[in-house]
């Protein structure tokens, strides 16, 4: 009876260990796939990147990528979602919302500027890849979805500034939304960072100055 109990415990322990190893291998494959996908999209562009090439470089099957992500657009969406989460312990959106507890609107906007510095380098290049994808319907649909989400987020931020009485007289919520939307546009990032060689710190200062000057 005791021997059977010990045997059962060993079998259960071995199964738990094997399951943990399988989960670890799955996480490694997931990370490798996303890393390779991001590097390849940025190097070759959306149209020239293939699922087969990503799969071969990542050491997984193309079928696994299609099953997990649905294809190239799904990979870009996952990469963008990761980028939007930022690098902090909490997702960037949660940290952005937490800034609303501050009474000084300049400190709120300065906090948003810091988050732009954190998130933009991770997301803007991918959005530019989608913009240059040509007539690919999946890429176009994803770009439209991500842009709609960004506009809605900026409208939510503008709504807070309006409700808290932070906006300068004559500045509507809609106008504030559009200023925030402009400042977070991948095209602005491309112009200043990629084409003019600005640092992310200089870009952040510019964004903060535009927001404060136009809204407060």
Largest Cα–Cα distance of the chain, in whole Å? 83
- Per mean pLDDT, which range of 113-117, 158-162, 172-176 is the poorest? 113-117
Architecture of the CATH domain 88-216: Orthogonal Bundle (1.10)
Quote the pLDDT of residue 25: 78
Quote the pLDDT of residue 91: 94
Tokens of 86: 């930022």
Write down the residue that tokens 């690098």 correspond to: 87
Hey, how many other C-beta atoms are within 10 angstroms of the C-beta on 165?
7
Q: What are phi and psi of 70, to 5 degrees?
A: 85, 0
pLDDT at 52 over 70: yes
Is residue 214 within 8 Å of residue 182, measured between CB atoms? no
3-state secondary structure labels for all residues of 118-183: HHHHHHHHHHHHHHCCCCCHHHHHHHHHHHHHHHHHHHHHHHHHHHCCCCCCCCCHHHHHHHHHHH
- Confidence category of residue 166, pLDDT binned at 50, 70, 90: very high
Mean pLDDT, to the nearest integer, of 57-74?
95
Residue 88 DSSP code: S
- Domain range list for the chain: 1-70, 88-216
Quote the pLDDT of residue 17: 52
**pLDDT tens by residue, 113-129:** 999 999 999 999 999 99
Hey, how many other C-beta atoms are within 10 angstroms of the C-beta on 54?
24
Residue 113 DSSP code: H
Quote the pLDDT of residue 134: 82
Mention the CATH class of domain 1-70. Answer: mainly alpha
pLDDT at 18 over 60: no
């Amino acid at each position: 009876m005791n021997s059977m109990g010990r045997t059962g415990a060993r079998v259960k322990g071995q199964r738990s260990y094997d399951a943990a190893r399988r989960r670890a291998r799955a996480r490694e494959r997931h990370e490798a796939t996303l890393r390779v996908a991001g590097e390849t999209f940025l190097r070759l562009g959306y149209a020239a990147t293939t699922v087969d090439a990503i799969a071969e470089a990542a050491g997984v099957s193309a079928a696994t990528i299609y099953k997990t992500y649905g294809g190239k657009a799904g990979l870009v969406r996952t990469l963008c979602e990761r980028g939007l989460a930022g690098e902090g312990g909490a997702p960037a959106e949660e940290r952005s919302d937490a800034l609303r507890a501050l009474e000084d609107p300049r400190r709120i906007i300065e906090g948003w500027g810091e988050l732009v510095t954190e998130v933009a380098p991770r997301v803007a290049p991918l959005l530019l890849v989608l913009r240059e994808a040509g007539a690919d319907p999946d890429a176009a649909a994803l770009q439209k979805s991500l842009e709609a989400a960004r506009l809605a987020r900026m409208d939510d931020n503008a709504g807070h500034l309006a409700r808290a009485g932070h906006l300068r007289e004559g500045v509507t919520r809609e106008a504030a939304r559009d200023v925030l939307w402009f400042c977070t546009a991948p095209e602005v990032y491309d112009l200043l960072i990629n084409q003019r060689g600005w640092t992310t710190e200089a870009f952040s200062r510019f964004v903060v100055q535009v927001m404060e000057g136009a809204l407060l």
